[in-house]
Amino acid sequence: MRTVRLQREDFDAGAEQTSLARGRSDVGAVVCFTGICRGDGISAMTLEHYPGMAEAEIARHVEEAERRWPLLGVTVIHRFGRLVPGDNIVLVATASAHRGNAFAAAEFLMDYLKTQAPFWKREERGGEASWVEAKGADDAAAARWKRRADAAE
């Protein structure tokens, strides 16, 4: 079961997590990550995205995760629009027979979402708005998965 949604509305992480294992007995592990808008001196943030490409890029990475790990379900939800501290931003949930694959696939998907999915954050801080700069640490986190894949070849 594969679900990718981009939406302005909030999501219910508990319900998304539960639905991955409901009614089946082959799932032994569900990992559910939620990214939340941090206060950190900001009053709000606005997420801009590239409609069409964002869905396609996330779907490509979900397919890649399914090739790498034996997954029984994946859900990715990314919000756009204006969010305030405490609001949900993104959800990645993975289901597998065993925890290792579910953990790894969820981390892989989040690392790639950060650097490859076409979203841009604009923060409002003390009445001023500015675009968030990409972090080298996020590129390094995504690159680890590439090195592992190369090493396996």
Partner 1 sequence: MSVKLLYFAWVRERIGKPDEVVDPPASVRTVADLVAWLVQRGDEYAYAFENPKVIRAAIDRSHARPDATLMGAREIAFFPPMTGG
Give whichever of 95 and 113 is closer to partner 1, judged by the CB atom: 113
Q: ∠ CA(20), CA(25), CA(26), 5° rounding?
A: 80
For partner 1, the binding residues (CB under 8 A) are 35, 47-50, 52-54, 56-57, 78, 89-90, 110, 113-122, 131-134, 138
Contact 90, 117 (CB under 8 A): no
Nearest to 20 by CA among 59, 73, 61: 73
Q: Cα separation of 2 and 59, whole Å? A: 9
Torsional sign, CA 5, 104, 34, 42: negative
In the bound complex, what is the minimum distance in angstroms from residue 120's beta carbon to partner 1? 4
Give whichever of 70 and 81 is closer to partner 1, judged by the CB atom: 81
In the bound complex, what is the minimum distance in angstroms from residue 139's beta carbon to partner 1? 8
Give whichever of 18 and 43 is closer to partner 1, judged by the CB atom: 43
Give whichever of 72 and 109 is closer to partner 1, judged by the CB atom: 109
Give whichever of 12 and 120 is closer to partner 1, judged by the CB atom: 120
In the bound complex, what is the minimum distance in angstroms from residue 23's beta carbon to partner 1? 30
How many residues are there in the chain? 153
In the bound complex, what is the minimum distance in angstroms from residue 17's beta carbon to partner 1? 18
In the bound complex, what is the minimum distance in angstroms from residue 52's beta carbon to partner 1? 6
Residues pairing with 92 in the sheet? 33, 76
H-type helices in the chain, by residue range?
13-21, 53-68, 99-116, 136-152
